Amino acid sequence: MAEQTALADIRADDGGKPDAAVVRDALGVGVAVGLSGFAFGVTSAGSGLTLWQTCALSLLVFTGASQFALVGALAAGGNPYTAAAGAFFLGVRNAFYGLRLSQLLALPRAVR
């Protein structure tokens, strides 16, 4: 029996091509993330951020909700520090999710 990996389900009988379900799921995620990224780019450009600032936000900010909150506040004429603080606190909630998830996954204390 062919070994299955986390990256792709490869079947031995079809010449090493990815399973149709994996391709379908990957396309679904790719389209959804692509549309969200496009919407963020349009919103960011509309709020007056440069291309490099938009790319830096996408690279450095962990959550999409925080990105949208930041550019939305800037587009409304808000103070950049206040917008960044709001985005930061919106992202902090993920730390609490992470604490609970680490307990469910039974990760070693050093990894938590």
Domain membership flag for residue 6: no
11 vs 40, which has greater pLDDT? 40
For the stretch 63-70, contacts whose Cβ atoms lie closer than 8 Å and that sit 24 or more positions apart, written own/partner, are: 63/90, 63/91, 63/94, 64/36, 64/40, 65/90, 65/91, 66/90, 66/91, 67/40, 68/40, 68/43
The domain total for the chain is 1
Nearest to 103 by CA among 91, 112, 93: 112
Mean pLDDT of 31-56: 91
Domain membership flag for residue 1: no
Its domain, for residue 74, covers: 12-105
Mean pLDDT of 49-75: 90
Domain membership flag for residue 63: yes
pLDDT at 64: 85
pLDDT at 85: 93
Residues 6 or more apart in contact with residue 84 via CB below 8 angstroms = 70
- Residue 65 scores a pLDDT above 80: yes
46, 75 Cβ separation under 8 angstroms: yes
pLDDT at 96: 85
Domain membership flag for residue 4: no
Nearest to 87 by CA among 104, 102, 70: 70
9 vs 95, which has greater pLDDT? 95
- Residue 48 scores a pLDDT above 80: yes
- Residue 9 scores a pLDDT above 60: no
Please state, in angstroms and rounded to a whole number, the distance separating the CA atoms of residues 39 and 54.
12
pLDDT at 16: 61
- Residue 86 scores a pLDDT above 50: yes
Mean pLDDT of 61-82: 90
pTM of the model: 0.65
Token pair recorded at residue 14: 């079809």
